[in-house]
Structure 1
Amino acid sequence: MPAQLDPETRTTDARYSSGVPAWLRVLIPVVLILVWFGAFGAGGIAFGSLTEVSTNDQAQFLPASAEATEVSELQQDFRDADVVPAIVVVSGDEMLDDDDLEAIDGLRTDLLAVEGIRADEASPVLVSEDGRAAQVIIPVDSGDDAEGPSVTVAELREVIDATTIAGTTIAVTGPAGFTADLAAAFSGIDGLLLAVALAAVFVILIVVYRSPLLPVIVLFTSLTALCAAVFTVVSLARADVLLLSGQTQGILFILVIGATTDYALLYIARYRETLAIHERKWDATWAALRSSWEPIVASGGTVVVGLLILLASELTSNKILGPVAAIGIVFAVLAALTLLPALLLWAGRAAFWPRRVAHAGEVEHHARHATGVQDASAPDEADLPDRGIWASIGRLVSHRPRSVWIISAVVLGVMSLGLAQLDADGVPSSEFVLGESQAREGQELLGEHFPAGSGTPAVIIGPAGDLQEMADVALAASGVSSVSVSVPAADSPSGSAPVTGDGIEALGPPGTPAPEPTVVDGGVLLQVTLSDASDSGEAEATIASLRDDLDEIDTDVLVGGPTAVALDTNSAAIADRTLVIPLVLAAILVILMLLLRSIVAPLILIGSVVLSFAAALGVSALVFEHVFHFPGADPSVPLFGFVFLVALGVDYNIFLMTRVREESQRFGTRRGIVRGLRLTGGVITSAGLVLAATFAALGVLPILFLAQISFIVAFGVLLDTFLVRTLLVPALAYDVGRGIWWPGALARGER
């Protein structure tokens, strides 16, 4: 028979359940669970639509003001914009003979029979000058779905696999080939990524709680929050409110699973405390919500604000991540504060089985020790044993605070030196996919025998009257192989004619007049074949130089094409990095000041996470360069890493400092710091391990960008968890003392 509560505890319990009849205490959790079950079902169905509403076309993420964007829009008036070129390259071990060329021509006929091919616009078999390779440029319908030309390219590759031309290597490359390889790399995002992330979280929760039921409840809460977020995001994408990409989708999955689990761990820690005080589950639930909602909402709000600041970005791929991920965090907070408490209210103490959580009658002395404290759920001194790792860390921080924080800061500073090795100015699109890529191998073959930019020309659009002058400038530019002009399809099957220093060349027999260029609104379109691969740094330098030279002819002359898209994307990403990072810091600083009612403590927290981010990025730069041998990084990688690490790193500091503030109100600042550290140590460490594991799961997808984000955030979170939040922040706060709360009332209290 349960022990009876003393009058003080009875009063506390009555305060929590007062005015809430028994039927309502049953109805509220039942309704919440049913609503979330509905969201789970709707989101499960929406998962199948993610691929349909997402795109990985880099050009769609450029700002409207970018020069490459303007060219892309103007191109639609000159030719069909719904076509993406695939380049089939055949490379021989020796010179291609007549039999080889006949077989390649037969292969071309078979390829043009594939559905989705614009056969009448395909090029003939083009043989290289060295006679050891041939290529066919095949226009592929971009299609109406998000997969674009991927299905068609897969069928082209099937035809090639069924063809044998002795002594040759055949590959499909070009923009269509790279799009197909990228789509294949993202194909595991729904199944493999989620499976790895959920498995990692489940194992950690089993180790932490040693309970069979609690991990299931937490994972169900996280997965339900994700389903609700996916349903919302897909609905907005269908309404053309949001634009989705594969990388945004992957980050959404990981962020929601990790954040929901983190918030769940914080609530569960409080719930276990309140179960030891309150005999009735409803009272324990209400007490846990009262003490955990503020840090959870503040933590989620900090992340949401940081993410929404990405809306200030120029680059659409950065801009769209903000609202998509923010939606995920909102559902993570809602699930942690509604679904999880409802499920734990249903499970009660059985959720922690086989561990035993004592009820109020067995620990009633806790309430008596809490005289004058409004929330009797707060642990008293008797709840803090003298032994254990967190007791030892607490003693270290309190006995040698200055030494601890100085050594911690020096260690982080040394790690930051690796920033000198950071190469984040962009990478070739051929390096986006890690591991095997037929398109990358095909491009290498193409570069060995043809101008490397074949099939993916730069595009110049300018006044028709300046045609020859524009062509002369382009032909004189270093890095340009040839120039052609757009002509009516009736004059040329390929829709273009070569332009030399003597004008447009005739396409027929000698004496045939040269075709007239296609003129649209007084403008003409030139195609410029580059000597270097279109996604190389050398090609980008050629485009930048061309733009400068052509501006001297007329500022209305525009240069676009795949290389220009990459160049403008990198420029916009670097500008975003410069703009967004200060805005995120300022916004989070304001939130922390409002939450902690202090100026000094937020400055310490912001400084610690910035130093932690620099250390994580410094170590990551060294690992990328010397361990993984990555070819560099996209300019958006440091930006995304910053947003996630600063926002999520502040999360753990919020968990810590809100508890420190609570304890400081009872016991004074320095004692409150040590108590807050000891009371939150276990839950924050577990949360850090969970978040690091979920972000590490991004590494299973063979995408360079996601692999780099995965490492930076996972390592940075572990650094925040085990060094910054455990040693640096508590030790520095302890050294400063009550001054950390300046100018708040606590700054004038006792130490």
Structure 2
Amino acid sequence: MTEKFIRGMARARWAVLLGWLAITVASVLFLPNLADIVRQTEQKFVPSDSESVVAKRMLEQINPEATTKSSAILVYSRDGGLTGQDRAWLKAKAAELGGLSGKGGFQSVQSAYETPELASKFRSKDGTTEMLIVGFSGADNDALTQDAVDELDGRIKDAPAGGKVELTGSAPIGKDFQESSENGLKKTELLTVALVLVILLIVFRSPVAPFVPLITIGLSLVITTGLVAAATHWGMPVSSFTQSFLIAVMFGAGTDYCILLIQRYREELSRDGDKVEALVRTIRTVGKTVAFSASTVFVAFFLIGFAQFGLYQSAVGVAIGVAVTLIAGLTLTPALLMIFGKAMFWPSRIAAGQGHGESKLWAGMAAFSARRPVAIILVAVIVLAPVTLLFQNKRSFDDLAEIDPKLGSVQGFRQVERTFGSGEVFPLSIAVSSPDSMRNPAALAVMETASANVAKLGGVKEVRSAVRPLGAQLADLTVSDQLTKTSEAIEQLKDGVDRVAGGLKEAETSVSGGRGDVDQLTSGLRTMAAKTKDAQSGLNQIRGGLRQASQGAEQLEGGLAQSASVSASMSADFHALLKAHPELKDDAAMQRLLGKQQGLSGGLNELKGGANRLSSSFSRLTPGVSQAASGLGQLAAGQTAAADGVAKLGGGLTELTGGLQSGAKGLGDVSAGLTQVKEAQQSIGDSQIPGWNLPQSALDSPELRQALDYYISKDGKTAKFDVVLAVNPYSPEAQDTVGQVRDALAHSFGGTVLKDAKVYVSGTSAQITELKAISKSDFMRTGAFVLIGIFIVLMLMLRSIVAPLYLLLSLGFNFLVTMGIVEFVFVRLLGKEGLSWSASFFIFLIIVALGVDYSIFLMARFKEEYRPGGVRDAMAKAMSTTGGVIVSAAVIMGGTFAALMMSGVNTLLQIGAGIVVGLILYAFVFMGLVVPALANLFGEANFISGFARNKEKAPKLKEVGDT
């Protein structure tokens, strides 16, 4: 900034102020609202090409009309068990909500009343709790979905007295988290302003001076939020953290820059009382320090934009805020200094020669670090290094731990967890993609094997798929069940054959009795006149016997038809069985079974021969009886023919009876063989999958087709598996189970018709697994970028390589010590599962980006004061003059981030605590002792690459005033 420009800005101070006010008003009127954008933004920021996102898109294509993008679970409970009134209310509520489908974001309702066969899925075993699942057409963060949750919440206020009803699930939990963040942000804003005001009053001891930084930062913040909101249209990600960090960083860093400018302005004003000259000297000296300090923060947050993880990228908006604050600090703040002048320090009076006092405490630390640099460094390492070992990087991904446990969504989740298991709320949804259709028996058989293998995993409670729509194996499709039913059918056939054989025996007896009467009739014919009445009677007996024989033949015909049908069905079952399980061909029990089945076929052939002869005998018998009836004159001949037919009938009946008895015995052997096969199947062992067979007829059944339409796409190339976990979906065990499920599916598909299928896992636990890997790799990658960027800025400012190196090492060491303390407090003392998964990254970023400001304050003055051979004197002067500024800056920065601890969001609580610890530790221990000791230890090596040039410029700098 040239002297001419500074003087011109001093003269146009009111125009500068009005210009900033105009820009602020324009940003409010014409730029988007950042809070509204954050409210509708997905907070997980999983990359669009990640496995869980791809899986979700694939699953939505299986049945687009029925797919929901988010859901709420209505959890109704009553201690001691639900009453009839409770169930009546739930039934009416299910019908009421069902009527909202397709309206206002509502899409579907699932309950025990719409699908009674799934009642056990919605009602707890202890009878105390029941669920209704409401599906929404939009994502959790959609405005329409949030309005639907509000609508749903309003409709459950009429629950019966004594019952407890809560809403949980992805949409209500997301809504509670967002509202907690917004409420926390409001608290943070108020607390930050209050803390900054109090600290400024203490620092300046004036009620006027604090308005300079408050106006500067307040206008900058309003403009920045509008610019960040507008930048989202060009792809800049934002989150609830964006707003919180904007407030904390801009108030913290901006106030530090303002303090530096005000303190120097006061010092310069005390020299001659000329406001314009004081401003010129202030900007020419500390203006560059402010610019470099802001540059390091800007670079750090700007480089966050190169992270792959969206939540980390959302902090890039702070870079815009720092840039706006820097511009305001170098334009608006000087204008305000000119407007207020000496009145800014009222009631104190600025006397000539009254400069900024030196800190005796920091002067003493400077002397100590000059005398014992090695001892200070060794003690610091020995004392602080063990603290770094407390940092085990234990991370928690539990979203519920982020918000107040008294909120309804958390209470509802805990109730489901107690009565159903937490896995019911957030199951895994798995998409399987195959190049060929999976709507065939072979592919479905592989799915059954895969479902069974996944169900055996320790962390899995239940698997639901096209072949297990209710979460259990379909018994009708198991070989064991099919063998049981076949054996039962054969037993029924055997009973039928036995009854037919019994009927034939009675017929044979009747015919034999009829043959005796025929003999009497033949004898009586010789005395025709005397025995007419006996002949008439004998003929009647023959007709009765024939009727019995005819009935027996009809029974035989029915039995043979049943035998043929069952035999054909049994043969088909054998073929299907052997096709599905070719390994059974070599089984000894199966070989015996096949032999006996062939015996059955032989017996049935004998039955067929006997039946044919029976039919022939009746054909010859009928004309004979007709002749007897037509005339007694031909009775003898007819009776003879009848006697021959009766004789042949008896022989045929005997053969037929023997064939049936042989067939019945064969059927009994077949039944016994099937029983042996079934027992062999059931005794295979737990390591094998029970036999499973899907006939084409079952595939075409309406029940199975409905399951196929729900779990498999119409083209058959995408299938869905729902896996209900037996562990908390946020737990490390759930994350391990995700990998086990993926491996089990891959193993089940290998070497089968689905060997080329690809598996994509989605769901809360799957997303956590991805977050864990992505956030870790991005931390290392982006952290390296930030350190390199800050190193370059420091190297340019200090014109040295050595000093930036030990400054960054001190920042890194300070971060590890800080994390050791924070993890010890939250995990070991407070019993948390781990620190919030994003806390360590943001603590690192802010401690490094803002902590380096204190290094710049000190080293910039050190650079000004240095003369060849005077390292100790230069550091002593730098520490005594900037120590108070560093302490003030650290207290203000720590105070602004301490306000985050009151936000009510667990992550912000941990971040705030970590930054307070880190900045205070760095300001007092590292800046007060370690960094000065390192500077004294390296001596003239600090000035490699250009520090010595200050010697030539020193007299000129002294003329305009040093820092």
Q: TM bucket by the smaller chain?
A: 0.7 to 0.9
Alignment partner of 1:702 out of 898, 904, 916: 904
What displacement does 1:579 show? 1.8
Show the counterpart of 2:677.
Answer: none
Alignment partner of 2:839 out of 604, 617, 637: 637
Show the counterpart of 1:670.
Answer: 872
Partners of 2:855 and 2:129 in 1: CA distance: 61
Alignment partner of 1:480 out of 447, 450, 460: 460
Alignment partner of 2:51 out of 64, 67, 79: 67
1:545-601 Cα offsets, whole Å, 9 max, x none, are 112232342452211122212221121111112222223222222221221111111
Matches within 5 A, 1:137-216: 137-142=133-138, 147=143, 149-166=145-162, 168-216=163-211
8 Å CA contact 1:71–1:561 kept in 2: the answer is: no
Change over 3 Å in CA distance of 1:501–1:240 after alignment to 2 = farther
Show the counterpart of 1:439.
Answer: 409
Change over 3 Å in CA distance of 1:701–1:468 after alignment to 2 = farther
Matches within 5 A, 1:76-91: 76-78=60-62, 79=64, 83-91=69-77
Amino acid at match of 2:380: S
Partners of 1:645 and 1:58 in 2: CA distance: 27
Amino acid at match of 1:557: V
Please list every run of 5 or more consecutive structure 2 residues that lacks an aligned counterpart in the other structure.
114-121, 478-696, 750-755, 953-963
Give the match's secondary structure for 1:214: coil
What displacement does 1:389 show? 2.6
Amino acid at match of 2:460: V
Give the match's secondary structure for 1:483: strand
Give the match's secondary structure for 2:305: helix
Partners of 1:344 and 1:666 in 2: CA distance: 36
What displacement does 1:504 show? 11
What displacement does 1:460 show? 1.5
Give the match's secondary structure for 1:88: strand
Partners of 1:340 and 1:588 in 2: CA distance: 26
Show the counterpart of 2:759.
Answer: 557
Matches within 5 A, 1:452-491: 452-462=422-432, 463=434, 464-465=437-438, 466=443, 468-470=445-447, 472-477=449-454, 478=457, 479-485=459-465
* Residues 1:118 and 2:106 aligned together: yes
Identity of aligned residues (%): 27
Partners of 1:392 and 1:21 in 2: CA distance: 37
Matches within 5 A, 1:153-552: 153-166=149-162, 168-237=163-232, 239-321=233-315, 323-359=316-352, 388-420=360-392, 422-424=393-395, 426-462=396-432, 463=434, 464-465=437-438, 466=443, 468-470=445-447, 472-477=449-454, 478=457, 479-485=459-465, 497-498=469-470, 500-502=472-474, 512=703, 514-515=705-706, 516-517=708-709, 518-519=712-713, 522-552=717-747
Larger helix share, 1 or 2: 2
Change over 3 Å in CA distance of 1:745–1:702 after alignment to 2 = closer
What displacement does 1:25 show? 5.0
8 Å CA contact 1:16–1:287 kept in 2: the answer is: no
Partners of 2:471 and 2:405 in 1: CA distance: 40
Partners of 2:773 and 2:168 in 1: CA distance: 26
8 Å CA contact 1:695–1:710 kept in 2: the answer is: yes
8 Å CA contact 1:474–1:546 kept in 2: the answer is: no
* Residues 1:136 and 2:113 aligned together: no
Alignment partner of 1:573 out of 772, 775, 779: 775
Q: Max radius of gyration: which structure?
A: 2
Amino acid at match of 1:87: I
Structure 1 range deviating more: 199-208 or 599-608: 599-608
What displacement does 1:135 show? 0.6
Structure 1 range deviating more: 152-161 or 613-622: 152-161
Give the match's secondary structure for 1:314: coil
Give the match's secondary structure for 1:525: strand
1:660-692 Cα offsets, whole Å, 9 max, x none, are 100114983211100000110111110110000
What displacement does 1:182 show? 0.4
8 Å CA contact 2:360–2:880 kept in 1: the answer is: no
1:526-545 Cα offsets, whole Å, 9 max, x none, are 32222233333332222221
Matches within 5 A, 1:568-717: 568-665=770-867, 668-717=870-919
Partners of 2:240 and 2:762 in 1: CA distance: 24
8 Å CA contact 2:303–2:786 kept in 1: the answer is: yes
Change over 3 Å in CA distance of 1:674–1:620 after alignment to 2 = same
8 Å CA contact 1:481–1:530 kept in 2: the answer is: yes
Amino acid at match of 2:738: I
Change over 3 Å in CA distance of 1:400–1:144 after alignment to 2 = closer
Give the match's secondary structure for 1:170: strand
8 Å CA contact 1:447–1:532 kept in 2: the answer is: no
Partners of 1:745 and 1:87 in 2: CA distance: 67
What is the number of equivalent residue pairs in this alignment? 698
Partners of 1:53 and 1:729 in 2: CA distance: 43
Amino acid at match of 1:610: G
Q: Which structure is higher in RCO with an 8 Å CA cutoff and minimum separation 6? A: 2
Partners of 1:504 and 1:304 in 2: CA distance: 67
Show the counterpart of 2:933.
Answer: 731
Change over 3 Å in CA distance of 1:27–1:314 after alignment to 2 = same
8 Å CA contact 2:867–2:950 kept in 1: the answer is: no
Change over 3 Å in CA distance of 1:719–1:735 after alignment to 2 = same
Change over 3 Å in CA distance of 1:732–1:148 after alignment to 2 = farther
What displacement does 1:291 show? 0.9
Partners of 2:290 and 2:200 in 1: CA distance: 19
8 Å CA contact 2:402–2:905 kept in 1: the answer is: yes
What displacement does 1:26 show? 5.4
Partners of 1:202 and 1:392 in 2: CA distance: 30
Change over 3 Å in CA distance of 1:481–1:145 after alignment to 2 = closer
Change over 3 Å in CA distance of 1:551–1:302 after alignment to 2 = farther
1:362-383 Cα offsets, whole Å, 9 max, x none, are 57xxxxxxxxxxxxxxx8xxx7
Show the counterpart of 2:82.
Answer: 96
Amino acid at match of 1:469: V
What displacement does 1:56 show? 7.3
Show the counterpart of 2:590.
Answer: none
8 Å CA contact 1:397–1:731 kept in 2: the answer is: yes
Partners of 2:466 and 2:261 in 1: CA distance: 65
Amino acid at match of 1:164: P
8 Å CA contact 2:462–2:725 kept in 1: the answer is: yes
Give the match's secondary structure for 2:740: helix
What displacement does 1:498 show? 3.5
Partners of 1:68 and 1:59 in 2: CA distance: 15
Partners of 1:594 and 1:16 in 2: CA distance: 20
8 Å CA contact 1:740–1:747 kept in 2: the answer is: no
What displacement does 1:358 show? 2.6
Change over 3 Å in CA distance of 1:470–1:666 after alignment to 2 = same
Change over 3 Å in CA distance of 1:95–1:678 after alignment to 2 = same
8 Å CA contact 1:88–1:170 kept in 2: the answer is: yes
What displacement does 1:143 show? 7.0
What displacement does 1:147 show? 4.9
* Residues 1:29 and 2:22 aligned together: no
Amino acid at match of 1:452: S
1:396-446 Cα offsets, whole Å, 9 max, x none, are 3334343334333433324323214x412x322221214423222211211
The CA RMSD over aligned residues, in Å, is 3.2
Partners of 1:694 and 1:748 in 2: CA distance: 36
